[in-house]
Structure 1
Amino acid sequence: MTSTKLAPTESITDQGTATTEDVGAHGKVTVVFAEFDVVDHHGDLTERGAFGNQTVHISGWNHGLWETNALPLGVARIYETHKDARADLQFNMQLQAARDLFEAIRFDMANGKLTQYSYGFDVENHSPGDGEQCRRILKKVLVHEISPVTVAAGIGTHTVSAKSELEDIRAHVERQELAEILRSLYLEDEAA
Structure 2
Amino acid sequence: MLTKNMTVTEMSDSGKGLALIANLSAVDHDGDTYAPGAFAWKEQWAPLLTAHDRWGMPFGKARVYEEGDAAYAELHLNLDTAAGRDWHAALKFDLATGKSVQEWSYGYDVLDADLQFRGLEKIRMLKKLDIHEVSTVVRGAGQGTGTVSMKARNAALKEGRFDGLLGELGTMAEVLKGDPGLLSATGRKQLGDIHAAMGAALVLPPETGAEEKAAVNNAVAAELQRISRRHLKQA
CA deviations over 1:77-108 (Å, ceiling 9, x no partner): 11112121111111111221222222222333
Residue matched to 2:81: 95
AA partner of residue 113 (structure 2): H
Structure 1 distance, partners of 2:151, 2:70, is 21
Structure 2 distance, partners of 1:92, 1:158, is 21
Q: 1:34-45 alignment to 2 at 5 Å?
A: 34-45=22-33
Structure 1 distance, partners of 2:124, 2:74, is 27
Larger Rg: 1
The alignment's TM-score, normalised by the length of structure 2, stands at: 0.53
Q: 1:53-132 alignment to 2 at 5 Å?
A: 53-60=43-50, 62-63=51-52, 65-66=53-54, 69-111=55-97, 112-113=99-100, 115-130=102-117
Structure 2 CA distance for partners of 1:141 and 1:59, relative to 1, 3 Å: same
CA RMSD of aligned residues (A): 3.4
Question: Could you say which structure has the greater relative contact order, defined with CA pairs below 8 angstroms and 6 or more residues apart?
Answer: 1
Residue matched to 2:230: none
Residue matched to 1:190: none
Structure 2 CA distance for partners of 1:159 and 1:91, relative to 1, 3 Å: same
Segments of 4+ moved more than 6 angstroms: none
AA partner of residue 46 (structure 2): V
Q: 1:20-59 alignment to 2 at 5 Å?
A: 26-52=14-40, 53-59=43-49
Structure 1 distance, partners of 2:69, 2:128, is 16
CA deviations over 1:5-37 (Å, ceiling 9, x no partner): xxxxxxxxxx9xxxxxxx977121211111111
Alignment match of 2:146 (pick from 154, 158, 162) = 158
Residue 150 (structure 1) shift = 2.1
Larger strand proportion, structure 1 or 2? 1
Residue matched to 2:189: none
How many aligned positions are there? 146
Structure 1 gaps of 5+ residues are 1-14, 16-22, 168-174, 180-192
Larger helix proportion, structure 1 or 2? 2
The alignment's TM-score, normalised by the length of structure 1, stands at: 0.63
